[in-house]
Homo-oligomer: A and B are copies of this chain.
Amino acid sequence: MTIQAQPIATRAGEILDVAERLVQTRGFNAFSYADIAAELGVTKPALHYHFRTKEALGEALIARYSERFFRELDQIATADEAAPARVARYVELYRAVLLANRMCLCGILAAEYQTLPSSMRSAVRGFFERNETWLANVLRQGVEHGEVTASEPLEDAARLVIDTLEGAMMIARAHDGPERFDSASTRLIAGLLP
C-alpha cells in the first residue's frame, strides 16, 4: 500500500476543476460537455465515462465543493479566535470566490434551482443548512461573550448573513471589482457588533 504524498491530478479531478469553474462562472445550464472536452483536449464521450450524466457531474461538483468549504469552516472553528473574527473569516471565504470572478457554487445553483434534478436540489439545500448551523453556533458563542448582538432565533440571524453575502456576491459580479461586495459585507458585520 502506497501513500500519496500529494494528491495526483486524476482525469476525473481535472474534469471537476474545469466544470466547477464553468458552473461558478456561467451557471449549470450554460455550459456543456463540449466546453470541458475542448479545454481538456478529449472527446465528449470520454467525459461520459467518468461522469455518466450531467446530473452525476453536478452531484460530484456539489459534494467536492461542500467538502472543501466545510473543511475550511472546521479550521475557522478550531482556531483560537473570537466570534467576530470568525465571522470576518467566513466573509473572507466568499470574498475570495468573488475575486476569482466566480459565484458561490451553491449560490448560482440556487438561482437555477427550479431547473435542477432533485438529487442536486437536496445537495444545495444541505449546503445552506450546514452553513446556517455553523454560523448560528458562531453567533451564539459571540452573544454569550458579549461580542455579538443578534436577537433570537440566531438561526434566522445566520440566514440573514448568508442571504446577504450570496446576494451581494451575485450583484457585485454584474459590476466591476469587489467594492460593492465589500461595502455590503462591512455594513452587514457592523450590524452584528455591539
Contact = CB atoms under 8 A, between A and B. Distances in A.
Contacts of A184: 156, 159-160, 163-164
Given A111-B108, A111-B111, A171 B160 contact: no
A175 B111 contact: no
A30 B187 CA distance: 35
A4 interface: no
A103 interface: yes
Nearest to A164: B164
A160 B164 contact: yes
A111 B183 CA distance: 19
Contact of A174 (B113, B173, B191): B113
29 contacts: A26-B112, A26-B115, A27-B29, A107-B170, A108-B111, A110-B173, A111-B170, A113-B173, A125-B174, A128-B171, A128-B174, A151-B187, A157-B187, A159-B171, A159-B184, A160-B168, A160-B184, A160-B188, A163-B170, A163-B172, A163-B180, A163-B184, A164-B164, A164-B167, A164-B168, A166-B167, A166-B170, A167-B170, A191-B191
Interface of A: 25-27, 29-30, 103, 107-108, 110-115, 121, 124-125, 128, 151, 156-157, 159-160, 162-168, 170-175, 180, 183-184, 187-188, 191
